[in-house]
Amino acid sequence: MNEQQLDQVFLALANSSRRLLLDLIAARPGCTLSQLQAEFSISRIGLMKHLQVLLDAGLVMAQKQGRERPLYFNPVPLQQIHQRWGDQYRDFWASQLLRLKAAVEQPEHTTTELTTKDLL
Amino acid sequence: MNEQQLDQVFLALANSSRRLLLDLIAARPGCTLSQLQAEFSISRIGLMKHLQVLLDAGLVMAQKQGRERPLYFNPVPLQQIHQRWGDQYRDFWASQLLRLKAAVEQPEHTTTELTTKDLL
DNA sequence: GTTATAGGTAACCATCTAGTTACTTATGGA
DNA sequence: TCCATAAGTAACTAGATGGTTACCTATAAC
C-alpha cells in the first residue's frame, strides 16, 4: 500500500458518517444505499458522496445488479494498516508510559504541567 | 475516545507529511521542529501547521523549554484505535476472503469483473 | 406502457486544507 | 549589548470537503 492509498484510507475513516456507513455495510453485506438511508440525517446525495470516498479507498466493493447496487465491506486495507501500525509501534505499545516517563524526566520537568491525563 | 477525537486522529494520519513527521518524532523523542526541517521540502510554517494537527489529535506532546520546544510521540490514541478496530473487525480478518466469496457467489456474478486483485 | 423506485449528474455554496511570504517575539550566546 | 536562532502570527491563495437542490437514467412492477 503506497502513501497515497494510505491517505485515501485514513481520510475515508476521518468522518463519523463514513465510519457509520462502513460499519453498516460490514454488518449487512449486500445491502444497498437506499436501505441504509434511514440511518442517516443527511441527503441521499451527501450519503452517496461518502460512499464514493469509501469506494475510492477500497474499503467497500460494489457490483451493479439491475437497478440495485449491493455493497460489500472489504477488510483488506484496514487489515494491512492494522498490521503495519502494529509492527511499527509495537515497542511503544509494549509500555505505553515510556514516553510520559521520558518527558517527565527532562531536567526542566518542574516547569511543565504534563500529567498522565494529558496523554489520554 | 469520542467520534470527534477519532475524526481528528484519522485526519491527522491522512497526510504523508504528517505521518513522516510523526514517525520522526517517535524515533527521536525530544527533538524540535527545526531539527526535523531538513527532512521536509515544505516551508517551516507549513510544517508547523502539520505539527499543530498532530498536537490537536493528541498524537504528539510538546513542552516549551526556553526558546526550544521538544516534541514527544504519544502512542495512546493509536493504540486505542488499533485495539478498537482489531476487536470490531476481528471476525473479518480471521478469514479475509469471506467477503470476496460472498460477492462472487451472488447469482449474477457472471456479469461482474470482481477479482481478487480488486480487493487488494 | 406507465409509473414508482434505485441510482447517478450537474451545479452551487460555505468552510477547511495545505501551502506560501512577510513580519514579530523571545531567548541563548559572543 | 547585539546578533543569531527557535518559535509564533497574520494574511493570502488554490483546491478539497461536506453539504445542498434540481434534474436525468434505468429498471422493476403493475
Q: Domain extents for chain A?
A: 3-74, 77-119
Give phi and psi for B65, each to the nearest 5.
Answer: -135, 105
Residue A44: the pLDDT is 97
Average pLDDT over residues A62-89: 90
What distance separates the 2 farthest-apart alpha carbons in chain A?
69
Q: What percent of chain A has pLDDT over 90?
A: 62
Task: Mean pLDDT check: name the lowest of A72-76, B80-84, B107-111.
Answer: B107-111
Q: What percent of chain B has pLDDT over 90?
A: 62
Mutate to test the interface with B, among A2, A90, A96, A109 (most CBs of B within 10 A): A96
Chain A hits for B16, CB-CB cut-off 8 Å, are 3-4, 6-7
Give per-residue pLDDT as tens, B91-104.
Answer: 777 655 554 544 44
Report how many Cβ contacts below 8 Å link chain A to chain B: 131
Tell me if A80 sits within 8 A of B55, measured CB to CB: no
pLDDT reading at A97 higher than 80: no
Select A3-74's CATH number: 3.30.43.10, 3.30.360.10, 1.10.10.10, 3.30.1360.20.
1.10.10.10
CB contact under 8 A, A26 and B89: yes
Give per-residue pLDDT as tens, A17-57.
Answer: 999 999 999 999 999 999 999 999 999 999 999 999 999 99
Q: Which of B10, B73, B96 sits opposite A79 (nearest CB)?
A: B96
Give per-residue pLDDT as tens, B65-78.
Answer: 999 999 999 999 99
Residue B72: the pLDDT is 96
How far, in Å, CA of B100 to CA of B116, rounded?
7
Which chain B residue is nearest to residue A70, measuring alpha carbons? Answer: B103
Q: Which of A16, A75, A85 sits opposite B99 (nearest CB)?
A: A75
Reference A13, options B95, B56, B5; nearest CA is B5
Residue A77: the pLDDT is 92
Give per-residue pLDDT as tens, A102-114.
Answer: 444 444 433 333 3
CB contact under 8 A, B72 and A10: no
pTM of the model: 0.81
Mutate to test the interface with A, among B5, B7, B97 (most CBs of A within 10 A): B7
Task: Give B103: exposed, middle or buried? Use CB within 10 Å, 0-12, 13-18, 19+.
Answer: buried
Give phi and psi for A31, each to the nearest 5.
Answer: -70, 165
